[in-house]
């Protein structure tokens, strides 16, 4: 996050009940031997030029590397057998195809998997930070929930990540790296015969730790790589970026990335949304909805998802449902109701199931798709930010044991 972003985020959270302490964000320092993951084709060509690869060869080398990295999932240059041995050792001397290290892995009874990933800055492991990435398998798809920042400034009062201070923005490589790790761990590089057409990770949602639109450039560059159809090839219609409402970057998301949009709405009145999503003080509901109306490419076939966490006695009345339907009029929308997944220390409770059903029925009868998201991975605390906090409480020995498990199973 650059200085402008830092002050914007701080400004956005000022005046709320839990204001952010003004801390300088850390700057990412690349390791001495950088990873090629997350670089565009032009950037890879430039790096190749810097190590003496002739201009006439660069385009072909970039194509080969792209294929080995993003189609075959190669984890080192030795595997790239269509590249000459000499070239491979030259690449090896200067670069890696390293992904984030898996610090812990948990598998839920329902198949949800959660990874805690370690992200070093420079070669100093003391300076490593951790983010989470969650894989949610369903019959017709496998969704990977990806993080964009270490921590978050926005202090949404129902969100566990909001209790963790923002440390730094992830790089494009660290964002793409989360998908690479998931495919590695799920053995998801080889084509196979499955109902999802061969791959386990079929969908990506930017809904993990952090506010993606406060790390716009890195998120954009990463998602363009994820969507590239000569590589990972996950279609833009299967990639969803979720924002708490950074209005100025919403239109840019449509123009420059072209992915599906989700809005963390959670309340229909500014007074309540100011409390649940403090960024609302800067970009109130009316401005946010106007940006949604103007979102490039939205249509009945490409609806905007409005996320609505169900909090008992807070935002779950039928009056709330009525107002919700009224204010979304004219926006191609679907409403995703999320039963609240409580975390230690939260002041909220999940709405009663009856109430969730009544709310959902009202919204459905008004013509909106209103699926209730089935709680997943509750036994492994799959709501974002929870594995990180749990792991922070472990001793060094316990952390080593978790890491060893992650390496061997």
The contact set with ligand SF4 (CB under 6 A) reads 152, 154-156, 159, 161-162, 209-211, 244, 264
State the nearest-atom distance from the C-beta of 149 to ligand SF4, in Å: 8
Report CA-CA distances (Å) from 288 to 251, 280, 282, 284, 295: 11, 9, 10, 6, 11
DSSP state of 278: G
Q: Are strands 142-145 and 124-137 parallel, antiparallel or unpaired?
A: antiparallel
CB of 367 to ligand SF4, least distance (A): 28
Identity of the residue, 45 or 134, whose beta carbon is nearer to ligand SF4 in the bound complex: 134
- The one catalytic residue in 101, 105, 130, 132 is 132
Tokens matching residue 406: 């992650």
384 among known catalytic residues: yes
Q: Which sign does the torsion angle of CA 68, 70, 73, 75 carry?
A: positive
State in angstroms the smallest separation of the CB of 261 from ligand SF4.
15
Classify residue 362 as exposed, middle or buried by CB count within 10 Å of its CB (0-12, 13-18, 19+): middle
**Catalytic-residue membership of 349:** no
CB of 322 to ligand SF4, least distance (A): 25
Helix 353-365 to helix 318-327 angle (10° resolution) is 30
Token duo for residue 169: 């923005």
In sequence order, which ranges of 246-317 are alpha helices (DSSP H)? 248-252, 270-276, 285-293
Q: Rank residues 205 and 226 by Cβ distance to ligand SF4 and give the closer one.
A: 205
Beta sheet of 239-243, edge-to-edge order: 101-107, 113-121, 124-137, 142-145, 203-206, 239-243, 260-264, 304-310, 333-339
Residue partners of 197: CB distance under 8 A and separation at least 6: none
**CB of 341 vs ligand SF4, minimal distance in Å:** 12
Catalytic residue among 133, 152, 350, 384: 384
Active centre residues (catalytic)? 132, 384
């Amino acid at each position: 996050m650059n200085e402008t972003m830092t002050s914007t985020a701080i400004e956005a959270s000022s005046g709320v009940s839990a204001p952010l302490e003004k801390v300088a964000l850390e700057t990412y320092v690349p390791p001495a031997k950088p990873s090629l993951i997350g670089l565009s084709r032009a950037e890879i060509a430039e790096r190749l030029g810097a190590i003496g690869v002739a201009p006439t060869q660069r385009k072909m080398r970039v194509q080969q590397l792209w294929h080995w990295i993003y189609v075959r999932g190669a984890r080192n240059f030795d595997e790239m057998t269509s590249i000459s041995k000499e070239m491979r050792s030259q690449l090896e001397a200067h670069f890696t195809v390293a992904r984030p290290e898996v610090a812990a892995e948990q598998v839920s009874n329902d198949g949800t998997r959660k990874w805690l990933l370690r992200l070093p800055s420079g070669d100093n492991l003391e300076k490593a930070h951790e983010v989470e990435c969650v894989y949610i398998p369903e019959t017709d798809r496998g969704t990977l929930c990806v993080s964009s920042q270490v921590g978050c400034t926005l202090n949404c009062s129902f969100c566990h990540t909001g209790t963790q201070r923002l440390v730094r923005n992830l790089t494009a490589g660290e964002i793409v790296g989360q998908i690479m790790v998931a495919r590695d761990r799920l053995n998801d590089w080889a084509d196979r015969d499955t109902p999802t057409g061969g791959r386990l990770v079929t969908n990506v949602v930017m809904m993990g730790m952090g506010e993606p639109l406060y790390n716009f450039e890195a998120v954009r560059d990463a998602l363009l790589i994820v969507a590239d159809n000569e590589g990972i090839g996950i279609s833009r219609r299967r990639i969803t970026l979720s924002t708490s409402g950074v209005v100025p970057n919403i239109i840019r998301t449509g123009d420059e990335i072209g992915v599906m949009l989700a809005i963390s709405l959670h309340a229909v009145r500014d007074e309540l949304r100011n409390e649940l999503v403090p960024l609302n003080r800067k970009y109130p509901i009316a401005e946010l909805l106007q940006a949604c109306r103007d979102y490039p490419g939205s249509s009945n076939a490409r609806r905007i998802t409005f996320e609505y966490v169900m909090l008992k006695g807070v935002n779950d009345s039928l009056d709330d449902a009525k107002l919700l339907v009224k204010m979304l009029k004219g926006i191609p929308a679907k409403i995703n109701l999320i039963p609240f997944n409580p975390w230690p220390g939260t002041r909220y409770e999940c709405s009663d199931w009856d109430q969730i059903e009544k709310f959902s029925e009202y919204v459905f009868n008004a013509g909106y798709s209103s699926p209730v998201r089935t709680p997943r991975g509750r036994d492994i605390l799959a709501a974002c930010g929870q594995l990180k906090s749990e792991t922070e409480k472990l001793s060094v020995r316990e952390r080593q044991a978790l890491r060893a498990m992650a390496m061997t199973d």
